[in-house]
Amino acid sequence: MNVTAIQGPGGRWMIPPDCKESMDRTLIGLKGPLKTPIAAGHPSMNLLLRKTFDLYANVRPCVSIEGYKTPYTDVDLVTIRENTEGEYSGIEHIIVDGVVQSIKLITEDASRRIAEYAFEYARNNQRNSVTAVHKANIMRMSDGLFLRKCREVAENFKDVKFTEMYLDTVCLNMVQDPTQFDVLVMPNLYGDILSDLCAGLIGGLGVTPSGNIGANGVAIFESVHGTAPDIAGLDMANPTALLLSAVMMLRHMGMHDYGKKIETACFDTIRDKKVLTGDLGGKSKCSEFTEEICRRVRDMD
Amino acid sequence: MASNVWRSMLSHVVGAAKRPTVCFRRGLQTVTLIPGDGIGPEISVAVMKIFESAKVPIQWEERNVTAIQGPGGRWMIPPDCKESMDRTLIGLKGPLKTPIAAGHPSMNLLLRKTFDLYANVRPCVSIEGYKTPYTDVDLVTIRENTEGEYSGIEHIIVDGVVQSIKLITEDASRRIAEYAFEYARNNQRNSVTAVHKANIMRMSDGLFLRKCREVAENFKDVKFTEMYLDTVCLNMVQDPTQFDVLVMPNLYGDILSDLCAGLIGGLGVTPSGNIGANGVAIFESVHGTAPDIAGLDMANPTALLLSAVMMLRHMGMHDYGKKIETACFDTIRDKKVLTGDLGGKSKCSEFTEEICRRVRDMD
């Protein structure tokens, strides 16, 4: 399926109708990287997808990969980012010459929705706690509203521990001891920052999975790295991020056994260090790395 | 365009003229000392002892900053504190306890507004002997501290919908950018990186970025780069050595300065300085008051001491700063006399005495 933007009647940009029809029917999508249009006249495709399917939750599980060395060994957390409002509402104005304002919007509905998703995710994935990340000491009304909704939703999920922490304190603690964190839920900008910070802890965007949950049952899983045009078509790419996103997708669909099998084959391959793509420190081709994982999967039967 | 350059050059010259030159009246410069609460008084005593061992030509003027209500009910810092700071222009401050339901704004906020402390500066350098996952951190975060996301302007639009306003102005952006480049030049740093999200916040962060680019034109000896905030975070935890001086608006600075403090070991070992518009500079430790160990001779004075070293450098007393900093780092690296938070069993006074001893031995 292709998502190149097209202009519909009235000049409004939209994703191709056949892509929309497919997603509405299948409800599950797996997506690779899209190139960012510069001066193409239309908004980013990621933004179009987000709005078309109301993808309100961006979910990134960050788990340390044995064999892929980073300064951290035991990371196992999930960032859940509200992806429709907050600081990214895009509402900006010039007040007078040299003075600009940018508006951050927080609504009760969006805050409740993301909090509910976070607690349900925690429950469905046997996670112990959910931490709301905020700056309500400074942004008393906006982050205060977000926090209040999280607290209210927490009341309905007594089996999951609920904590709150300032964003700056989270960052301070995250780089000293990430094992203290489990599921983190937060508004848009904080989520943008924290999800990338956490991806860095486990080795970067090349090995990090990501999922986007929409309002009407749609879910799109995607790798969040770039298109890497310099190595495209040269059989050098590392498919790990997209593969782990596909594993996330299998779990979302309830196919836990398949997900576990594929994830294990992938992690075992990386840990063994015999067949690794260039970015993982090896010399193998993408097809060789892929075949190694296939071999391990077949051997598991 | 030309008039902007002229205005910028003029303010640069004026700013330099306003900056205090080291003034050895009778051989001593006066510094306002605000010990603060909790462990504040004991770590202040530690710093004073170490300075005495190094024979630093400074005299301390102690002041208290408990908020008082002036005529008309407006909250302000005590007049004798303001008078002292306006005269000495240099302050060293310990941690202040945060008032809960005290009816007045935070003291840090009052100080910031009273002295227009527009730049928050945190040098983060890895401390040999204090193990963290990173070994070679050497960067500086420079945070615009007056506007941005922390303007405090919020409204309920309708029930259940709240807006919070982020303000970016040309003047504040230019001012912080100029400070960052001047800092880089004065401290022999190679590059300044503007941290932003102008791809999403095109107008506000776009304005900030434009000002940084304009100021960069006047500092061709310093390399200028730009990077998205999320990319900075992603890269920072993988390889912090790629960063040098970072300049950014308020919220991003709040996050990044704490992230970087975490890289070198936390707030207990991180120095901080606040630069004001009229030549005032206040250096402070940014950890809490630690009431549970206050008065028990257990506190670690490193953060306040390193802030005092930053202060000495700001005052042009580089040799004294280097001496004290070396004694402190050597003590930590040796690992024989360390406070509890550094993994040792020594008292604050023992740790302090060890640094004093090393300082005296250097003469």
C-alpha distances in angstroms, A298 versus A237, A263, A264?
A: 23, 13, 12
Cβ-based burial of B207 (10 A; exposed 0-12, middle 13-18, buried ≥19): buried
Tell me which chain A residues have a C-beta less than 8 angstroms from the C-beta of B228.
Answer: none
Q: Please report, in tens digits, the pLDDT of each residue of chain A (301 residues total).
A: 888 777 777 878 888 899 999 999 999 999 999 887 666 666 678 888 998 999 999 999 999 999 899 999 999 999 999 999 999 988 999 999 999 999 999 999 999 999 999 999 999 999 999 999 999 999 999 999 999 999 999 999 999 999 999 999 999 999 999 999 999 999 999 999 999 999 999 999 999 999 999 998 999 999 999 899 999 999 999 999 999 999 999 999 999 999 999 999 999 999 999 999 999 999 999 999 999 999 999 999 8
> In chain B, which residues have their Cβ closer than 8 Å to the Cβ of A97?
170
SS3 content of chain B, % helix, strand, coil (to 5): 45, 20, 35
Give B126→chain A minimum CA distance, Å.
13
Nearest chain B Cα distance for residue A135, angstroms: 10
Tokens for B279, please give them.
């030549």
Q: Per the CB < 8 Å rule, is B259 touching A201?
A: no
Cα distance from N-terminal residue to C-terminal residue, chain B: 53
Distance from CA of B305 to the nearest CA of A (A): 21
How many of the other CB atoms lie within 10 Å of CB of A23?
21
Is the model more confident about B172 or about B99?
B172
Helix, strand counts (H, E) of chain B: 11, 14
Please answer yes or no on whether B168 and A100 come within 8 Å at the CB atom: yes
Please state, for a pLDDT cut of 70, what percent of chain A lies above it.
97
Q: Are A153 and A164 in contact (CB under 8 A)?
A: no
A interface mutation test: which of B143, B151, B234 has the most A CBs within 10 A?
A: B234
Point out the residue among A71, A102, A145 whose CB comes nearest to the CB of B133: A71
- Closest residue in chain A to residue B134, using alpha carbons only: A71
For residue A255 the two structure tokens come to 């196919």
Please judge whether B200 and A171 are an interchain contact, meaning their C-beta atoms are less than 8 angstroms apart: no
The predicted model gives B239-249 an average pLDDT of 98
From residue B200, alpha-carbon distances to A44, B197, B228 in Å are: 11, 6, 10
Q: Which of B164, B237, B257 sits opposite A201 (nearest CB)?
A: B237
Q: Tokens for B170, please give them.
A: 């040309």
Predicted local distance difference test score (pLDDT) of residue B14: 44
Three-state secondary structure readout of B222-275: CEEEEEEHHHHHHHHCCCHHHCCEEEECHHHHHHHHHHHHHHHCCHHHCCCEEE
The mean predicted confidence, pLDDT, of chain B is 91
- pLDDT tens sequence across A65-74: 998 999 999 9
Among B156, B200, B267, beta carbon nearest to A172: B267
Q: Is B236 on the interface with A (CB under 8 A)?
A: yes
Instruction: Give one DSSP letter per residue of B42-54, joined into a string.
Output: HHHHHHHHHHHHT
Q: Which runs of E-coded beta strand occur in B170-207?
A: 191-196
**Check: complex ipTM more than 0.90:** yes
Is B166 within 8 Å of A102 when comparing Cβ atoms? yes
CB contacts of B170 in chain A (<8 Å) are: 97-99
Eight-state DSSP code of residue B96: -
Q: pLDDT, tens digit, for every residue of B117-157?
A: 999 999 999 999 899 999 999 999 999 999 999 988 999 99
**B20, pLDDT greater than 90:** no
Phi, psi (degrees; rounded to nearest 5) at A74: -120, 35
Distance in angstroms (rounded) separating the CA atoms of residues A245 and A223: 6
Query: How many CB pairs below 8 A link A and B?
Result: 152
CB contact under 8 A, A142 and B164: yes
Say whether B162 and A141 touch across the interface (CB within 8 A): yes
Cα–Cα distances in angstroms (integers) from residue B349 to residues A198, B49, B268, B345, in the given order: 39, 10, 16, 12
Task: For residue B124, give both structure tokens.
Answer: 């983060």
The tally of CA atoms less than 13 A away on the side-chain side of residue B102 is 13
What is the per-residue pLDDT for B17? 42
pLDDT score for A37: 66
Residue A38 is predicted with a pLDDT of 62
Give percent above pLDDT 90 in chain B.
Answer: 82
Q: Which two tokens stand for residue B91?
A: 């302050």
| Cα B57-B45-B24 angle, rounded to 5 deg | 15
Q: By the 8 A CB rule, do A163 and A129 touch?
A: yes
Residues 6+ apart with CB under 8 A from B148: B166, B167, B168, B249, B250, B251
Contact A92 B200 (CB under 8 A): no
* Cβ atoms within 10 Å, residue A85: 21
Tell me what the mean pLDDT of segment B68-84 comes to. 87
Burial (CB < 10 A; 0-12, 13-18, 19+), residue B24, is exposed
Which residues 240-299 on chain A approach chain B with CB closer than 8 angstroms?
none
Question: Tokens standing for B53?
Answer: 């061992």
Name the burial class of residue B74, with classes exposed (0-12), middle (13-18) and buried (19+) by CB atoms within 10 angstroms of its CB.
Answer: exposed
pLDDT higher than 70, residue B1: no
At residue B214 the predicted structure's pLDDT band, cuts being 50, 70 and 90, is very high
Euclidean distance between CA atoms B337 and B346, whole angstroms: 6
CB contact under 8 A, A168 and B255: yes
Of residues B154, B207, B259, nearest to A175 (C-beta): B259
Q: Is some CB atom of chain B closer than 8 A to the CB atom of A173?
A: yes
Is-contact B113 B225, C-beta < 8 A? Answer: no
Predicted TM-score (pTM) of the model is 0.91
pLDDT tier at B9 (50, 70, 90 boundaries)?
low
Residue of A nearest to B171 (CA): A98
Name the minimum distance, in Å, from the CA of B152 to any CA of chain A: 7
**A55-63/A211-214 β-pairing:** antiparallel
Residue A141 and residue B156: Cβ atoms within 8 Å?
yes
B272 with B121: CB under 8 angstroms? yes
Contacts of B233 in chain A (CB under 8 A): 193-194, 196-197, 200
Q: Do A176 and B132 touch (CB under 8 A)?
A: yes
Q: Residue B94: name the closest of B316, B349, B352, B282 by CA.
A: B282
In chain A, residues with a C-beta closer than 8 Å to the C-beta of B149 are 87, 104, 138-139
pLDDT tier for residue B176 given thresholds of 50, 70 and 90 = very high
Q: How confident is the model at residue B4 (pLDDT cuts 50, 70, 90)?
A: low
Interface contact flag, A189 B197, Cβ < 8 Å? yes
Residue B196 C-alpha, separation from nearest chain A C-alpha, in angstroms: 11
Q: Encode chain A in three state secondary structure.
A: CCCCCEECHHHCEECCHHHHHHHHHHCEEEECCCCCCCCCCCCCHHHHHHHHHCEEEEEEEEECCCCCCCCCCCCEEEEEEECCCEEEEEEEEEEECCEEEEEEEEEHHHHHHHHHHHHHHHHHCCCCEEEEEECCCCCCCHHHHHHHHHHHHHCCCCCCEEEEEEHHHHHHHHCCCHHHCCEEEECHHHHHHHHHHHHHHHCCHHHCCCEEEECCCCEEEECCCCCCCCCCCCCCCCCHHHHHHHHHHHHHCCCHHHHHHHHHHHHHHHHHCCCCCHHHCCCCCHHHHHHHHHHHHHHCC
Contact B141, B308 (CB under 8 A): no
Contacts of B234 in chain A (CB under 8 A): 196-197, 199-200, 204-205
Q: Burial letters for A102-132: b for 16+ Cβ neighbours within 10 Å, e otherwise?
A: bbbbbbbebbbbbbbbbbebbeeeebeebbb
B105/B195 Cα distance (integer angstroms): 29
How much is the average pLDDT of B72-87? 91
DSSP at B79: H
| Residue A270: alpha-carbon gap to chain centroid | 22
- B250-264 vs A167-174: helix axis angle to the nearest 10? 30
Q: What are phi and psi of B127, to 5 degrees?
A: -100, 115
Rounded CA-CA distance A210/A270 in Å is 19
Q: Give the pLDDT mean for B339-354.
A: 96
B166 shares contact with chain A (CB less than 8 Å): yes
Q: Determine the straight-line distance between the first and last CA of chain A, rounded to whole angstroms.
A: 32
- Whether the CB of B233 is below 8 Å from some CB of chain A: the reply is yes
C-alpha angle with apex B227: B224 to B230, nearest 5 degrees? Answer: 155
Mutate to test the interface with A, among B175, B258, B272 (most CBs of A within 10 A): B258
Q: Say how far apart CA A165 and CA A143 lie, in whole Å.
A: 12
Q: Is residue A215 less than 8 Å (CB to CB) from chain B?
A: no
Chain A partners within 8 Å of B259 (Cβ): 171-172, 174-175, 197
- Which residues is B245 bridged to in the sheet? B140, B192
